[in-house]
A and B are shown apart, each in its own frame.
Chain A
Amino acid sequence: MITFINILILLVIPFIMIGIIKKTKAFWAGRKGASIFQPVYDFIRLMNKETICGETTSFIFKLAPLISFAAILFASLFVPLADGKSIIEMPFAFIIFAYTMALGKFFSLISALDTGSSFEGMGASREACFSTIVEPAFFIVLGSLTVLTHINSFGSLKYIMLNSGIYGYLIIALIAVTLFIMLLVEGCRVPVDDPATHLELTMIHEVMILDNSGVDLGLITWGSAIKMFLIESLIAAMIIPANISIIYSVPAFLAVIFILSVIIGTVESSMARFRMTHVFEFIFIMSVTALIVLTLVTYSIYGN
C-alpha cells in the first residue's frame, strides 16, 4: 500500500512542485499566475506533439532522453519517500543513486553534443563542469553521516539527531544548505541557471535541450522535475522525525515538499542569475558546508 502511495507521489508530485514554484514566482511578481496543475497540462500537450530532430543528429539523440529518464526513475527507488523509507533498501544506496544520476547525465551531455550545434556543447560543458564540484561534496556529507549514524545508506539522514547531541541541529542545518544548493544546481534554478531565460549564451541546462521537442522534451522536463523532487525528499527525510506512523509522515512529507518549493520560488523571485564565473563560487559554498559538516562529525567522534 505505502509503496503504491510512494510511486504515485513520485510520479505526480514533481509536476505540482514545479507548479507551486511558478505560482510563488507569480505571487511575488503580483500576478495571478497559472494553475499549479499547469505543468501537467504542459506535459500532456508535449506528449501529443510531434517530434522534430536536427538533421545532424543520430540515434543517440533519440535514445538519450529515454536513458536519462529511466536512470532518474531508477535512482528514485533508493530515495526515502513519504514514509521515510525508500522503495528498495540497499546498503551504499547513495552511491547507486549518484552513479545512475551520472548515467543519465552522461547521455544528456552526449545528446547535446550530437546536435553539432554551436550552443548546446556550451551548456553540456557547463553542466559537466559544475557536477564535478557537486558530487564530492555530496559524498563527503553522506560519508560523514555514515560515521555518525552507522547506517550506510540514505537511512542515515533520519538518525542525525539521535547520534549527535547538541551538534544535531547545526549539522542538519548545514546539510540542508548543502542539499539545497545541490537542488538549485541539479534543478537548474536561479541563481545558478534561469529556466525561463531566452538567451542561449547564459543558459546551462536549457541550452542542452534546445533541439529536443515533443515526447522527448516532455520526458526531459518530467525527469528534471523528479530529480528536484528527489533532492527535496532527501531534505524532508532529514527533517521529519523517524518512527512516526504513516498517517502523520505522509502529510508531513508533502508539507516539507510544499515549503521547499515555496522557498525555491521565493529565492528565484528575490535574486538574479549569477554571472557564470560567480556560479562556481556559489557552488563551492556547498563544498565548504560539506567540509564543516565533516569537521563537526570528526570532532564529535574523535574529539574527546
Chain B
Amino acid sequence: MNMYFISLGLLLFGALISLTVKEEWKLKICSFFSAISTVLLLITSFNIIKSGKIAAKSFYLSSLFGDVNIVADSLSAFFIIVISLMSFLGVIYAAGYMKPYILKGRKISGHCFFLMMLIISMLMVVTVQNSLLFLVVWEIMSLSSFFLVIFEGDKKEVLSAGIKYMVYMHISVLLLICAFALLNIKTGSLNFSDFVYAVSQNKHFANVIFVLFFAGFGIKAGFAPFHTWLPEAHPAAPSHVSAIMSGVMIKTGIYGILRVLTILGMPTKFIAYTVLITALLSAMYGVLYAISQHDIKRLLAYHSIENIGIIGIGIGAGLLGVVYSNPMLAVLGFSGGIFHILNHSLFKELLFLSAGSVYTKTHTRDVELLGGLIKKMPYTAVLFIIASVAICGLPPFNGFISEFLIYGAIIIGLPAPNIFVFLMLIVSLAALALVGTMAVLCFTKASGVMFLGNPRSQAAKDVKEDVPPVMTVPMTILAILICLIGIFPQYFIKLITAHVSAILQGSMVEQIMNSVVNLTGSISLLCLIFIVIFITVFIFVSLMKKKPKEYSVWACGYDKPNNRMQYSASSYADLFISTLRVFFKRISHIKKPSEIFPKEAYYEMETEDIEEAYILKPLLKIDERFLAMFEKIQNGNMRHYILFGLIFLILSIIGLIYIG
C-alpha cells in the first residue's frame, strides 16, 4: 500500500516540477515520473491480485471527512493496472503529439498539470472508500479532464463541447451526491463498508440507491441514453486525451457500478434487468450511429458507447446468473464483462492514438478526405487495422476472448428458469451478433477509407512519412498487448478471476472459475492452430506465386479513373443507413449544378443524434421558455436584489424554527 502512496506522490511531484521547467521538457518530465509510478503501481497491483489480500489504510482526515479508508482490493488492483498502464502510454504519446503545438509557441503547463491530476484522481477514485472524499476526487477527475478537453478552447466548437461535458458531469455528480446523502442519512456513516448492512435490509431502498448510482456512473461511462457528451467531447480533445478518456476514464463509471454492486450485496431482479436492458440499448445505439459518422474521432466515441454496452451486457448477464442462481452464467458473464474493460481500453486507446497520428500528419479528422495512407504511414495503418479487427471482436485478438466469454455466458444461461429470462438472453445473443457484424461494417469502412485506396485530398497526398517513434512506440506496445491477450488469454484472465470469485462467493465458484480459465486455454490453442493454418497457406502460396505484375485497376473499361471516383465512406455506409433510415435524422446540404457550364456543386449529408434532436433539444427549449419567466427578477435594480435577500433570510429563519 505504501508503494501506492509513493507513486501518487511521484505523480504529483512530477506535475509540480513540470510547471517549473521549459515547455519542451514538461511532457518528458511527466513521462519519466509516470513511468516510475506505473512500475510501482503494477508491482503493487500484481501482488494484491496474486496474494488475494486486501491492502488497506485508514486514517483520520478531519471532522468533516471522518475516518478515511483507502482500500485496494482485487477490483481496485485490476483498475489500477488498466489506469496506470494506459495513462502512461498516453503520456509518452503526448510528448510527440504536442510537439507541433509547442513549436507554434503554445503554452502547455496547464495541460501537463491537469493530465497528471487526471491520472492521480483516477487512481484515487478506484481506491477511496469514503463517500465524501470519493466525491472530491471524482470532481477533480471531471474538472481536470474538462480542462484537458478545452485545450484548443479558442475554437468555438471545442469550447461548447467542453461546456456540454462539464454540464453532463455535474448532473452525474449531483446524482451521486443524492445517492451518498441517502446512504448517509440511513447509516450515519460515510464509509462504503458501513453501507452494506443498511442496503441489504430493504429491497426497495436498494433499488432506489442503485438507480441513482447507475444513472450517475452511467453518465460517466457513457451508457445510452446518457451518452451525448461522448461524441462531442472526444473529437474536441487532443488525441491522447481522448484516448485516456475513452480508454480509461469512462471505465471509472463501470468501476463505480461494480463497486455499488458489491455494496448492494444480493442484486434484485430489477437491478439485473435495468443493467442488461440499458446495456443492450447502448450497444445497438452506439454502433448504429458509429456507422453514420465521417469524423473518425466521433466514430470512435460512438464505438465507446457500443463497447460500454458490451461490458454492460456481460455484467447484466452475470447479475441474472446471480439472481437466478446459475453460477456458470454468473461467472462467465462477470468474467467476460470485466475482461472486456481491459480489452476495450487497449484497442480503443490504440485506435484513438493512431487517429491522432493521422490528424497530426493531415490536420483533418474527416475520413472522406483521407485515403491511401498505408503507403506513407505503414506503421500507423497496420496498428489501426489490428485494433479494428480487435474491436470487432474477431479472433485471434483480445476482443474475441471477452466477447466469447459473454456469448458463452448467454448460451449457458439459455435453458432459463422462466420465459422472460430466456427471451432476454436470446435477444442479447442476437443483439451481440448484430453489433458484431455492424462493427465489422463500421471498421472496414474506417480502416478502408482512411488507409487504403487512393488519397482523396491534397492533405492526404502531401503526407511524407510516418509519425516519429515517440508516438509509434506506445502504439506498438498496445498492439503487442492486444495480440498477446488474444493468443494467450489464459494468463491474462487471472487478473480478474480473484475479483469474480470475491463478488460471487460460492463454493462452486472456484471450480467454475478454473473451467473458465481452461476454456480460455483451449481458445489459446485454437488461436495457435489458426496461426499454423495461416502460415501453411502462406508458405503454400509463396511457393506457387510468381512475382506479381502491376497494372491499373479495372474501372469498367474507363481509362482515366481519378481518386474522387473511389467509393467513399458515405456511399459505403449508405446502403445500410438508408435501409434503417427510421433510426436516423439525416440532414442534407445540396447545391445543384446550374447554368450551362456548372461551376460549383456539392451534396453533403450529416446525421444527427436522434436522442439529441428529438428529446434533448425540445426539452431544452421548454426549459429555456420556463427560465425566461424568471428574467424579470434580474432587472438590475439593487433595491430589488436586497429585498430578495431579505425575503430569503426570513424564509430560512421561519424554516429553521419550524424544523428545530
- Using CB atoms and an 8 Å cutoff, list the residues of chain A in contact with chain B: 47, 50-58, 60, 62, 66-67, 69-71, 73-74, 77, 88, 90-92, 95-96, 98-100, 102-103, 105-106, 109-110, 112-122, 124-126, 128-129, 131-132, 134-140, 143-144, 146-147, 150, 152, 200, 210-211, 214-215, 219, 280, 294, 298, 301-302
Contacts and interface: CB of A to CB of B under 8 A. Distances in A.
Given A88-B529, A114-B453, 16 more contacts: A50-B546, A51-B546, A66-B537, A66-B538, A95-B404, A99-B395, A102-B437, A118-B555, A118-B567, A119-B554, A125-B573, A125-B575, A128-B445, A135-B434, A147-B415, A294-B426
8 contacts: A47-B544, A51-B546, A52-B551, A62-B548, A96-B526, A117-B561, A128-B444, A128-B445
Contacts of B429: 139-140, 143
B441 interface: yes
Contacts of A95: 404, 407-408, 411
A54 B445 CA distance: 20
Contacts of B552: 54-55
Given A91-B408, A117-B561, A298-B423, A129 B441 contact: yes
A55 B381 CA distance: 18
B201 interface: no
B646 interface: no
Contact of B579 (A62, A124, A129, A146): A129
B433 A51 contact: no
B656 interface: no
B567 A139 contact: no
Contacts of B551: 52-55
A98 B393 CA distance: 11
Contacts of A120: 567
A284 B380 CA distance: 39
Given A99-B395, A116-B453, A211-B553, A143 B411 contact: yes
Interface stretch (B67-75, B167-175, B177-185, B370-378): B370-378
B453 A56 contact: yes
Contacts of A280: 579
Contacts of B418: 302
Given A66-B541, A115-B453, A125 B430 contact: no
A144 to B, nearest CB: 7
Interface string B537-565: 11001001110111111111000010101
Given A62-B548, A99-B395, A132 B434 contact: yes
A18 to B, nearest CB: 20
Given A56-B372, A110-B447, A110-B452, A51 B549 contact: yes
A70 B453 contact: no
A117 B433 contact: no
A155 to B, nearest CB: 13
B653 interface: no
Contacts of A92: 404, 407-408, 411
Closest 10 CB pairs of A and B: A121-B567, A113-B448, A116-B453, A54-B553, A70-B534, A139-B433, A114-B452, A109-B444, A51-B548, A116-B454
Nearest to A123: B567
Interface of B: 371-372, 374-375, 381, 385, 388-389, 392-395, 400, 403-404, 407-408, 410-412, 414-415, 418-419, 422-423, 425-426, 429-434, 436-438, 440-441, 443-445, 447-449, 452-454, 519, 522-523, 526, 529-530, 533-534, 536-538, 541, 544-546, 548-556, 561, 563, 565-568, 571-576, 579
B147 to A, nearest CB: 38
A213 to B, nearest CB: 9
Given A95-B407, A119-B555, A132 B422 contact: no
B576 A129 contact: yes
Contacts of B444: 106, 109-110, 113, 124, 128
A103 B371 contact: no
B118 to A, nearest CB: 34
Given A74-B530, A121-B566, A55 B393 contact: no
Contacts of A147: 414-415, 422
A118 B433 contact: no
B366 to A, nearest CB: 17
Contact of B548 (A53, A96, A98, A144): A53
B630 to A, nearest CB: 49
Nearest to A78: B526
B583 to A, nearest CB: 13
Contacts of A112: 448
Contact of A52 (B408, B448, B548, B566): B548
A150 B537 CA distance: 36
A244 B97 CA distance: 66
A214 to B, nearest CB: 7
Nearest to A104: B394
Contact of B430 (A96, A110, A140, A301): A140
Nearest to B538: A66
A121 B431 CA distance: 26
A37 to B, nearest CB: 20
B161 to A, nearest CB: 30
A302 B567 contact: no
B300 to A, nearest CB: 17
B567 A52 contact: no
Contacts of A134: 437
A118 B452 contact: no
B437 A56 contact: no
Given A56-B454, A125-B571, A219 B541 contact: yes
A179 B337 CA distance: 31
A62 B549 CA distance: 12
B444 to A, nearest CB: 4
Contact of B566 (A88, A118, A140): A118
Contacts of A105: 440
Contacts of A50: 546, 548-549
Contacts of B523: 96
Given A52-B550, A106-B392, A74 B433 contact: no
B404 to A, nearest CB: 6
A96 B411 CA distance: 13
A48 to B, nearest CB: 8
A131 B576 CA distance: 11
Contact of A60 (B385, B395, B426): B385
Given A98-B433, A138-B433, A298 B419 contact: yes
B256 to A, nearest CB: 30
B294 to A, nearest CB: 15
